Amino acid sequence: MPWNISDYPASMKNFEPLLRKKMIDMANAMVANGYEEDQAIPIAISQAKEWFENADAEEKRALEKEANPQKDDTHEISGNPDLLDEDVEVFFNDEKWAVKTVKAERADQLFDTKAEAVKRAKEIAANKGTQVVQYTKDGNKQ
Confidence grade of residue 74 (pLDDT, cut at 50, 70, 90): confident
Q: Per residue in 7-46, pLDDT tens?
A: 999 999 999 999 999 999 999 888 887 788 888 899 999 9
- Tell me which DSSP letter residue 99 carries: E
Give the domain ranges of the chain.
Answer: 10-65, 81-134
Higher pLDDT, 84 or 59: 59
The contacts of residue 27 (CB under 8 Å, 6+ apart) are 3, 9, 37, 40, 41, 44, 45
Tens of pLDDT, residues 84-137: 778 999 999 989 999 998 888 888 889 999 999 999 999 888 877 889 999 999
Q: How many CA atoms lie within 13 A of 52 on its CB side?
A: 17
DSSP assignments along 59-70, one per residue: HHHHHHHSPPP-
CA-based end-to-end distance of the chain: 41
